[in-house]
Amino acid sequence: MSLKRILIFSLAYFPTEGGAEIAVKEIVKRIPDIEFDIVTMCFDDERETEEKFSNGTIYRINTSKNGYPFKAFLFAKKLHRDRLYDATWAIMANWAGFAALFFKFRFPQVRYILSLQEGDPIAYIKRKVWFVYPLFRMIFLKADIIQAISNFLADWAREMGYQGQIEVIPNGVDVKNFQMTTDNRQLHNGTVLITVSRLVEKNAVGDIINALKYLPNNVKLQILGSGSLEKDLKILASHVELQDRVEFLGFIPTQEIPVYLHEADIFVRPSLSEGMGNSFIEAMAAGLPIIATPVGGIPDFLKDGETGLFCKVKDPKSIAEQVERLMNDDILRQKLKENGQKLVREKYDWNLIAKEMKSQVFDLPAAGR
């Protein structure tokens, strides 16, 4: 018997746009026969609200991040009296995971689903939770099923001691939004590198800037995204006298990103860590060859020389070498483009992901009512 009513704990939700938030939205709307209620935080000056959508309600509660696990649990407990949820679904093993854990302690008969979407280095996550580490492990150990977006994150769940069912189901992409009817990219009349990244240490955008030193002057870089390192990266570009070849475009709404991808030539993101990396999949869907590092969940979809090219970690010269390979090899570039788009169509379309989530994760015995 399939689940009929699920309560989602998610620290953030739309209009906040990250990989996890997009995943929840895209999956939920494609499974109309399950009711999904979402308990999330208010941000900025928002007031507590209830927002209906086609098959559920978004409840935004006023609290801090540290207060979220407790207030979300108490709020969910009241909801459960009326709604009788079949399962809770925690989006990441963070504050949302703690809220779901508290709910599981109180209502052990209700199924608990944990989604692992983390992109930060695992060592960094463990350092952040050291003072509550035994409780943090319980977020994994008490789950009835874990869904991980990469084999890397599935391995993390096992390392945390989880011995139950794990399903590796990646995030996806709305393929039709990234298709282009014609391809006017002219690599040899100037090459545009593009990266779509939060400007934080793990995405190593500075390595792409430094790679320009080893490339011809007609190779330029567009950076889509904002973050804590934006000022430092602008200083770096100026310091190495590359400010005329680097364009900082700031935050770009998800629906506008395809326009920029279609005007670029090569997607580059030399990550230091990555749970999966939706931006790579979007670039592949748009027909861009991609250059990435072999870290985290990236090897799940990037096969070197087949669906993309690997560069070395923290090595700007290695990035430049791979860019030059693509500039000088039309056959390789076309091969990577075609293979990447084929892979996305066959494995990463949101319609396929939603079907997998329903059959492999949500098709569990429903709780007694």
Q: In terms of Cα–Cα distance, which of 100, 191, 97, 172 is closest to 350? A: 172
Q: Are residues 188 and 163 in the same domain?
A: no
Q: Is residue 369 part of a domain?
A: no
| C-alpha–C-alpha distance, residues 282 and 274, integer Å | 15
CB 112 within 8 A of CB 124: no
Q: Are the CB atoms for 290 and 268 separated by under 8 Å?
A: yes
166 and 181 share a domain?
Answer: no
Do residues 22 and 124 share a domain? yes
Per-residue pLDDT at 190: 86
Q: What's the pLDDT at 255? A: 87
Q: Identify whether 366 is part of a domain.
A: no
Do residues 61 and 95 share a domain?
A: yes
Q: Which residues of 260-271 are buried (b: 16+ CB within 10 A; e: fewer)?
A: bbbebbbbbbbb
Q: Looking at the structure, do residues 216 and 343 belong to the same domain, yes or no?
A: yes
Number of residues that make up the chain: 369
The residue segments making up the domain with residue 321 are 175-347
Residues in the chain where the model's pLDDT stays below 70 = 1-2, 44-46, 181-189, 364-369
Question: Cβ-count burial of 231 within 10 angstroms (0-12 exposed, 13-18 middle, 19+ buried)?
Answer: exposed
Judgement on whether residues 210 and 327 belong to the same structural domain of the protein:
yes
Find, among 189, 200, 251, 247, the residue nearest to 226 by Cα: 251
Q: What is the pLDDT of residue 369?
A: 39
pLDDT of residue 2: 60
Residue at 50 is within a domain: yes
State the helix-helix crossing angle for 95-106 and 133-141, rounded to 10 degrees. 70
pTM score, two decimals?
A: 0.91
Together in a domain, 138 and 207:
no
Q: Model confidence over 179-226: pLDDT tens digits? A: 875 555 554 468 999 999 999 999 999 999 999 999 999 999 999 999
223 and 261 in a single domain? The answer is yes
Mean pLDDT of the chain: 93
Residue 47 carries which DSSP code?
P
- Please tell me the distance from the alpha carbon of residue 156 to that of residue 330, in angstroms, as a whole number: 39
**Residues 232, 200: Cα–Cα separation, whole Å:** 10
Give the angle subtended at the CA of 338 by the CAs of 343 and 260, to the nearest 5°. 90
- The C-alpha atoms of residue 187 and residue 326 are separated, in whole angstroms, by 9
pLDDT at position 368 is 42
Same domain, 179 and 163: no
The string of pLDDT tens digits covering residues 123-147 is: 999 999 999 999 999 999 999 999 9
Cis peptide before 15 (omega within 30 of 0): yes
The CATH number of whichever domain residue 115 belongs to comes to 3.40.50.2000
Say how many domains are in the chain: 2
**According to the model, what pLDDT value does residue 364 have?**
64
Give dist(CA 189, CA 219) in Å, integer: 9
Q: Are 296 and 274 in contact (CB under 8 A)?
A: yes
Claim to verify: residue 212 and residue 318 sit in the same structural domain: yes
205 and 263 together in one domain: yes
